[in-house]
Amino acid sequence: MSNNTKLHHNEPLIRLSKKTALPVWKAWAIRLGAFLFAVLFCAVIILILTGSNPIEVYRMMFSGSFGTSRKFWNMLQSLAMLLIVSVAVTPAFKMRFWNIGAEGQVLAGALGTAAVMIYCGGKLPAAVVYPLMVVTAVVCGMIWAVIPAIFKALYNTNETLFTLMMNYVATQLVAYLIVFWEKPKGSNVVGTINNPYGDGDWFPAVFGQKSFISIAVVLAITIAMFVYLKYSKHGYEISVVGESENTARYIGINVKKVILRTMLLSGAICGIAGLLLVAGTSSQTISTATAGGRGFTAIMVSWLAKFNPIEMILTSFILVFFERGAGEISSELSQSFASILTGIVLFCIIGSEFFINYKINFRKRHKEDKGGEAA
Amino acid sequence: MNLTRISEFFVQAVMFGVPLLYGAVGEILTEKVGHLNLGIPGIMYVGGISGIIGGYFWETYGNPNNTVMCILCSLLSALAGSALMAFVYAFLTITLRANQNVTGLVLTTFGLGLGSYLGSALAGLLGTDTTISLNATSAAYKKLFWVDIKLFGSVFVSFGFLTLLAIVIAITASFVLQKTRVGLNLRAVGESPATADAAGINVIRYKYAGTVIGGAIAGLGGLYYVMDFIGGSWSNGGFDDRGWLAVALVIFAIWRPKLAIPGSILFGGLYILYSFIPNLPRSSQEIFKVFPYLVTIIVLILTSVRKKKENLPPASLGLPYFREDR
């Protein structure tokens, strides 16, 4: 108000407007551009911080994922574990229910699985124990997910903060049970839970790969989720609730029911992720770090892929690639360095969404503009 | 429990609570302008390592006996580091209108990585394996404005300058938010940016100010942790869980900086309670550690059930603002 001359500017220098739907290829071209920019930017960072040749570093990172067939399968396993959690959080995100509690839901599923493995393994026939593991994992994941959903549906309790807190409740619950399950006593580590029915592994190797079953399960769930979201009535209801709750109510969708049902589904898949992490990995154990931050990383993966489960294969690959690749750069800095690079890449991709959604209009240069007030 | 033990408990609860207080007050400012910053753990972590770096350079190249400069160097460096982190978040979420949850989480990943990397790099520079210790700077923090409070007649309780600063900042923030025009505008931006914009408030400027200043305050939490709590040393991964507790404290304090002061002491007390109860089995200790989070969940539910308007989160929390969006 104090600056009256400003009012004479009838157009700001930069004006933003929303873009109408961009062709898919253009949107992906922008994302690819952002990714390439990020790779170049990371190269500069690598050069400054470590002084090593960035191309050499990238080559080493590449071999971290593709170097040997063992590394390749390990990469696939990590990819699958991240992918399943990402797929799990997706339906909730699509209806704008910000479930950042996947970490806790995965841990709950892991806890259920481990409990069945420890208490029933060897005492009941295998044909009972395996289904029991699946059921327990799914139910535990569902319970953890549905508690915040109930309060969201009834009282509109903020789900972001509620699910975040539930993560730590789950973590402490695991820490509590580890005291009873630890082996040997006092070590604070559960240790490998061996399979009493076979040679020690809970998941048999297929085509010589122990992780094959996990990967296949994850792939099946991913495709099923894609179909569910895109072609089923439930999927349609989820996207309507996500776009506008009022519209959903107007066309007769029971919003509360959709919220509860979708979170139950989210929790169930998280539970399965917990099952795979405990019984399907080579360590076959449970700890407070079993979910390993995947619950948080999955949010980025899902969002980057625009909630499309198939595209998530690509986005989770990007994250796993950097994580595994940084392990190859031989130094103690590796893990933290991976986080820095991942952060930069994600910042660039997140930032690029702006250029997909908005158009920047610069003020056109008129002659009379020069005087400032002359306009 | 005798009096000595009780005052010891109180001191430790406060010491544990101060970083949470800084983090929570910073996050309250951020949330009041409508931005949920889940990058607080990362910001606090970077604030901590920046303070260490600032202190290290003054101790190495300056005069370590100069108390004021020791503090100034590390304090400014911590503020700059955390403000810079918050600025990245602000630019992405305010100007580029990126999703706040995703950006915040990436910021935490990035911040924890950056902090650990710088920590290792600095340790490498010093030739030590993993730990760095800055005795002079830490001692400076303890010397300045060190107050002894007499509890129960005989027991002395001592607090340093950063503890007092935390309380001062919290009270100031409460005052500004509730009693000044700036605070009113700030809250208006968080409740309904479109209305605020129509009323002639510069929404973008307020959003930037809230997130960046909020981030800088949160960063002081990291500085307190490294300088006062553990006495001027750094080890990687030392305090990343404190950031989430700070976010929890925001809810507990129902978005009021003043309430965060007793809240932080309560959280600190709940967190360390297990070590003050004699003969507690290890399993029960783990159960005790869950109390801060459980209390937060209960507060979250109660405020949403009661639906008193002044106790609810800012209405536009988490939503991007685009003027032409209607």
Q: What is the pLDDT of residues A304-316, one digit of tens each?
A: 888 888 888 988 8
Q: Among B103, B281, B297, select the one facing A165 at the smallest CB separation.
A: B297
Q: Compute the distance between CA of residue A126 and CA of residue A234 in angstroms, rounded to an integer.
A: 35
Average pLDDT over residues A113-132: 82
Q: How many CB atoms lie within 10 A of CB A5?
A: 8
Angle at A39 between CA A36 and CA A45, to 5 degrees: 145
> Which residues from B are below 8 Å from A16, CB to CB?
322, 324
Residue B127: predicted pLDDT: 67
Residue with tokens 């792939």: A219
Tokens for A67, please give them.
């170097």
Confidence of residue B27 (pLDDT cuts 50, 70, 90): very high
φ and ψ of B149, to 5 deg: -105, 135
Average pLDDT over residues A360-365: 71
State yes or no: cis peptide before A184, omega within 30 of 0. yes
Do residues B73 and B272 make contact, with C-beta atoms less than 8 angstroms apart? no
- Per-residue HEC secondary structure of A323-339 comes to HHHHHHCCCCCHHHHHH
Which chain B residues are within 8 Å of A46, Cβ to Cβ?
A: none
Cβ pair B304:A342 closer than 8 A? no
Q: Do A157 and B103 touch (CB under 8 A)?
A: no
> What is the arithmetic mean of pLDDT over B15-40?
91
Using the structure block, give the residue that is written with the tokens 């003020």. A363
Cα–Cα distance, B204 to B1 (Å, whole number): 53
Would you place residue A16 in the very low, low, confident or very high pLDDT band (cuts 50, 70, 90)? confident
**B65 pLDDT more than 70:** yes
Task: Give helix B100-126 / helix A294-304 axis angle, nearest 10°.
Answer: 130
- Partner-chain contact B293 A161, CB within 8 Å: no
Which residue in A18, A160, A169 is closest to B290 by CB distance? A169
Percent of chain A with pLDDT over 70: 89
Pick the more confident residue, B89 or B243.
B89
- Over the Cα atoms of chain A, what is R_g? 24
Most B CBs within 10 A among A347, A354, A358, hence the mutation to make, goes to A347
Chain A closest-CA separation from residue B281 CA (Å): 10
| Cβ-based contacts of A176 with chain B (< 8 Å) | 283, 286-287
Q: Which residue of B has its CA nearest to A180?
A: B283
Min Cα–Cα distance to chain B from A68, Å: 27
Q: Tens digit of pLDDT for each residue in B182-191?
A: 999 999 998 8
Secondary structure of residue B97 in the 3-state scheme: coil
Scanning chain B, the segments in alpha helix (DSSP H) are 3-32, 40-61, 67-90, 100-126, 135-143, 161-179, 181-191, 193-198, 203-224, 240-252, 257-272, 282-288, 291-306
Average pLDDT, chain B: 83
> Is A243 near chain B, with CB under 8 Å?
no
Smallest Cβ–Cβ distance between B110 and the set A151, A166, A340 belongs to: A340
Tell which residue, B321, B82, B221, B252, has the closest CA to residue A161. Answer: B252
Average pLDDT over residues A31-38: 86
From chain B, the residues in CB contact with A296 under 8 A are: 105, 108-109
CA angle B258, B262, B267 (to 5 degrees): 125
Residue A26 CB partners (closer than 8 Å, separation 6+): A356
- Chain B residues inside the 8 Å CB shell of A244: none
Quick check: A108 contacting B, CB < 8 Å? Answer: no
Q: Report the C-alpha gap between B18 and B225 in whole angstroms.
A: 8
Q: Do B293 and A172 touch (CB under 8 A)?
A: yes
Residue in chain B lying closest to A336 (CA): B113
pLDDT attached to residue A215: 85
pLDDT over 50 at A1, yes or no: no
* Residues A49-66: tens digit of each pLDDT: 777 777 877 787 787 777
Whether residues A343 and B110 touch (CB distance < 8 A) is answered with: yes
Higher pLDDT, A97 or A199: A97
Give the span between the Cα atoms of B219 and B246, in whole angstroms: 12
Measured between CA atoms, how close is A127 to chain B, in angstroms? Answer: 33
Give me the residue from A18, A299, A358 closest to B105, CB to CB. Answer: A299
- For residue B201, which phi and psi values (nearest 5 degrees)? -85, 135
Say yes or no to pLDDT of B220 above 90.
yes
More confident residue, B21 or A205: B21
- B83 — pLDDT class (breaks 50, 70, 90): very high
The answer to whether B236 contacts A336, with C-beta atoms less than 8 Å apart, is: yes
Q: In sequence order, what are the beta bridge partners of B149?
A: B157
pLDDT at B91: 92
Per-residue pLDDT of A223-269, as tens digits, reads: 998 888 888 888 888 888 888 778 888 888 888 888 889 999 999 99
Evaluate the CA torsion angle B25, B27, B30, B33 in order and state its sign: negative
**CA–centroid distance for A20 within its chain:** 28
**Quick check: A167 and A299 in contact, CB under 8 A?**
no
Closest C-alpha among B263, B225, B300, B311 to residue B25: B263
- Mean predicted confidence (pLDDT) in B142-157: 62
Helix or strand (DSSP H, E) at B159 = strand B155-159
Cβ-defined contact of B98 to A353 (cutoff 8 Å): yes
| Residue bearing the bigger pLDDT, B23 or B280 | B23
Q: What angle do CA B175, B177, B178 make, to 5 degrees?
A: 65
Range name among A71-85, B11-25, B147-161 with the lowest pLDDT average: B147-161
Give B120's contacts in chain A (Cβ within 8 Å). Answer: 332-333, 336
Chain A residue numbers touching B287 (CB-CB < 8 A): 172, 176
What would the mean pLDDT of B304-318 be, rounded to a whole number?
75
CA–CA distances in Å: residue B170 to residues A19, A87, B163, B292: 42, 41, 11, 20
Choose among B286, B297, B322: nearest Cβ to A172: B286
Determine contact, residues A46/A57, Cβ cutoff 8 Å.
yes
CB B254 within 8 A of CB B311: yes
Angle at the Cα of A240 from the Cα atoms of A143 and A17, rounded to 5 degrees: 120
State yes or no: pLDDT of B217 exceeds 90: yes
CB contact under 8 A, A343 and B313: no
Cβ-nearest to A347 among B92, B112, B248: B92
Place of tokens 């370590």: B64
> Domains along chain B?
3-311 (1.10.3470)
> CA of B236: which chain A residue's CA is closest?
A336
Residue A372: partners with Cβ closer than 8 Å, 6 or more residues away: A5, A8, A9
pLDDT band at A4 (very low <50, low <70, confident <90, very high): very low
Q: What is the pLDDT of residue B148?
A: 64
Say whether B144 sits in a helix, a strand or coil: coil
For residues B196-222, average pLDDT: 92
Q: How far apart, in whole angstroms, are the C-alpha atoms of residue A165 and residue A163?
A: 5
Predicted local distance difference test score (pLDDT) of residue A361: 75
A1, A333, A339 member nearest B120 (Cβ): A333
User: Who wins on pLDDT, A50 or B245?
Assistant: B245
Pair of tokens at residue B161: 């300058």
Short-list B44, B86, B37, CA closest to B224: B44
Q: Which two tokens stand for residue B310?
A: 């002044």
- pLDDT value for B315: 79
Interface test with A, best of B300, B311, B325, B326 (most A CBs within 10 A): B300
Dig out the tokens for A101 from the structure: 């509690």
Neighbours of A281 (CB within 10 A): 18
ipTM of this predicted structure: 0.81
Mean pLDDT of B215-226: 91
Nearest CB among B106, B108, B117 relative to A333 is that of: B117
pLDDT, one tens digit per residue, over A175-202 is 888 888 877 776 777 777 777 777 767 7
| Distance in angstroms (rounded) separating the CA atoms of residues B121 and B132 | 11
Whole-structure pTM over 0.90, yes or no?
no
Shortest CA distance from A301: residue in chain B: B102
Q: Using CB atoms within 10 A of its CB, is residue B186 exposed (0-12), middle (13-18) or buried (19+)?
A: buried
**Cα A235 from Cα A228, distance rounded (Å):** 6
Residue B86: both structure tokens together? 């918050």
Judge: A347–B296 Cβ closer than 8 Å, yes or no. Answer: no
Q: With a cut of 50, say whether residue A374 has pLDDT above it.
A: no
Detail the DSSP E strand segments found in chain A: 14-18, 358-362
* Among A100, A347, A351, beta carbon nearest to B101: A100
DSSP letter at A364 equals P
Mutation test of the interface with chain A: which of B101, B235, B242, B323, choosing the one with the most A Cβ atoms within 10 A?
Answer: B101
Q: A111, A168, A173: which to substitute to probe chain B, counting the most B Cβ within 10 Å?
A: A168
A215/A81 Cα distance (integer angstroms): 8
